[in-house]
Amino acid sequence: MHKSGIVPPLRLCFLMWLVFAIEYYLQVDLGYLGIYPRSITGLVGVVMAPLLHGNFNHLMSNSIPLLVLGGSLFFFFPSLAIRVFFQAYFFTNILVWIFGRPFYHIGASGLIYALASFLVFYGLFKRNFKSVIISAIVIFSYGGMAYGLLSFDDRISWESHLMGAVVGLVTAYTFSKANKF
């Protein structure tokens, strides 16, 4: 276990809050830097989308799970964490760019779904005590996220949720078979 498990997700949260503060104080909307599927300019969103949030509630609802799930990943699986985190961040957003509906997708929920999915499925695939306990805790704490996979609210990017869950599942399977951690 790694003592600084919270530091990487805390840094990302800091960036999310910084971008939100800049938007608020300068009275600008940077939502156009989100993922706009299948457009060249929308590719900037692959990097920027998780840093952008529509309002304070959106930012808060992404910050807490990011800290909990990201912190868990880095704390319990430090040897895998960086690779898992970057795959969750970038592959999720690339898939949203390819398959998403044509509007601006913003927020870190795709990353959060990928982290939750990874933590759940890694335990199910690895079947060692630590991983299974972590899976059970994530299911108990965040199992309700499953309802967000297919949202009926047009303002919510269910594509980000679904692509994140898929990326987390595939990453968990790949890492559970390739690593002896």
Domain ranges of the chain: 7-178
Position 146 scores a pLDDT of: 85
Could you give the percent of the chain with pLDDT greater than 70?
A: 96
Helices and strands per DSSP (H, E), number in the chain: 7, 0
Please provide the average confidence, as pLDDT, over all residues in the chain. 94
Contact 6, 74 (CB under 8 A): yes
Of 180 and 153, the one with more pLDDT: 153
| 178 pLDDT higher than 90 | no
Query: Which SS3 state, helix, strand or coil, does residue 39 take?
Result: coil
CATH class of 7-178: mainly alpha
pLDDT the model gives residue 117: 98
Alpha carbon distance 35, 102 (integer Å):
9
Instruction: Please say whether the beta carbons of 149 and 103 come within 8 A.
Output: no
